[in-house]
Amino acid sequence: MKRILYFIILLLSSMYAGAQRISVVDDQGNGIHLVTVLTEDGNMIGITNLEGMTPDLGGAVRIVLTHVAFKPQLVEVAKVRGGKVMMEDADYDLPEVQVVPKPYAYVETYYRAYVFIGDSLRFFKAGILPNAYDVKKQKLKTGSYSHCYAEAYLTEGVSFTWSGRMDLFNAGMIHKSGASRLQPGGDAAEKYFTTLTDEGGGKQRVSNPEGTVGFIISDEKQTHLTLDGAKAQIYRNKVLGQERVMKLREKKDYEYQFAEVFNHDEDGHSDITDLVMYSNHWEWNGAKGRSKLIIETYAAERAYMDKKEFKARKDGLKKQYKQPLSLDTMEGYAASHGIPAIAPTLRKAIERLPQKM
């Protein structure tokens, strides 16, 4: 019995020693959720969890860390000290919007979408979307233009109709953004979680009866929200008795992770023009392996407009980008708006793709 127990201890010790994981934190020591971890040649290793811990690095010598709110970083694993890596803030921000009596709150978003099958990048798309929200009528006005449209059917079994799905997704996030939907009594609070616990230092833990589902970290100007969306959604499915949806998500081993950054005023209030950036990461078991969809969205411009000004802006985008959007064109737009560049590792992987934008 002692020999068997000794063998089990040795086995567990070797498994623990073999696991190569590091913690990714910000300059305040908070773990950063939803950091994409890549190999040096652009293959995906995984993402960090709610506490900022990477998956097993699998013996990688160098890794690339990317996140919508932080600067991309190349890390030599052997030089990591204390098991932690600190990411530097992207320093991306937008000027404040002067409130004027005009009916439309305009937010122009720039998005990048990546599809991985297994660990390999298979598809990339970037686009610009003009979005306006009629504050008085509480109605969304979504604008798109021809070269935001691309329909891709991948042989691996992943398909997306960008003209419909991406336009609606990005535009829909605009008027739902902000701290107000996270407060008690809001629809998200009732459906997806039940408790906000103050942990001090501007940090709140988001929980439901199933455990921790996210964190809200605020400073004087901005709030960072991170959520394990799959945990929150499955909790809601349980509450509503949606067994068929739960079984489907279990079968596909469904995961959904979400991160958002938005500005707020001195009282912690935010509105639809305060979105700064957000990132979404979906995973599921597809027909040809583990499928991963990552969407990064940045607010590029925002203002208050009337109907005529909104139409002029949409028409101007159509004219300005009447040719197909090349990677250089999209990166030029990002650079002119101060949006963090694509990590060099990912850019090289994009350049190897057969699909054209």
**88-122 confidence digits (pLDDT tens):** 998 887 767 666 678 888 888 888 888 899 999 98
**CB-CB contact of 106 with 130 (8 Å):** yes
Q: What is the mean pLDDT of the chain?
A: 78
Q: What is the mean pLDDT of residues 329-334?
A: 89
- Counting Cβ atoms within 10 Å, is residue 261 exposed (0-12), middle (13-18) or buried (19+)? buried
**CB-CB contact of 33 with 48 (8 Å):** yes
Query: How far is residue 212's CA from residue 190's CA, in Å, rounded to a whole number?
Result: 16
Q: What is the mean pLDDT of residues 5-12?
A: 46
CATH label, 21-86, candidates 3.40.1440, 2.60.40, 2.50.20, 1.10.760:
2.60.40
Query: How far is residue 327's CA from residue 331's CA, in Å, rounded to a whole number?
Result: 6
Kindly indicate the confidence band of residue 166, based on its pLDDT and cuts at 50, 70 and 90: very low
Predicted confidence at residue 192, as pLDDT, reads 62
**Which range in 142-151, 193-202, 210-219 is most confidently predicted, on average pLDDT?**
210-219
Query: How far is residue 294's CA from residue 114's CA, in Å, rounded to a whole number?
Result: 5
Residue type, 66: T
Query: How far is residue 145's CA from residue 314's CA, in Å, rounded to a whole number?
Result: 8
Please name the residue ranges forming H helices in the chain. Answer: 2-18, 162-176, 187-192, 229-240, 243-251, 307-320, 327-336, 344-351
**Does 164 or 302 have the greater pLDDT score?**
302
Residue type, 25: V
Query: How far is residue 323's CA from residue 202's CA, in Å, rounded to a whole number?
Result: 46
All structural domains of the chain with their residue ranges: 21-86, 104-339
Token look-up 């597809």 returns: 286
Please determine, for residue 191, whether its predicted confidence score (pLDDT) is greater than 80. no
Residue type, 326: S
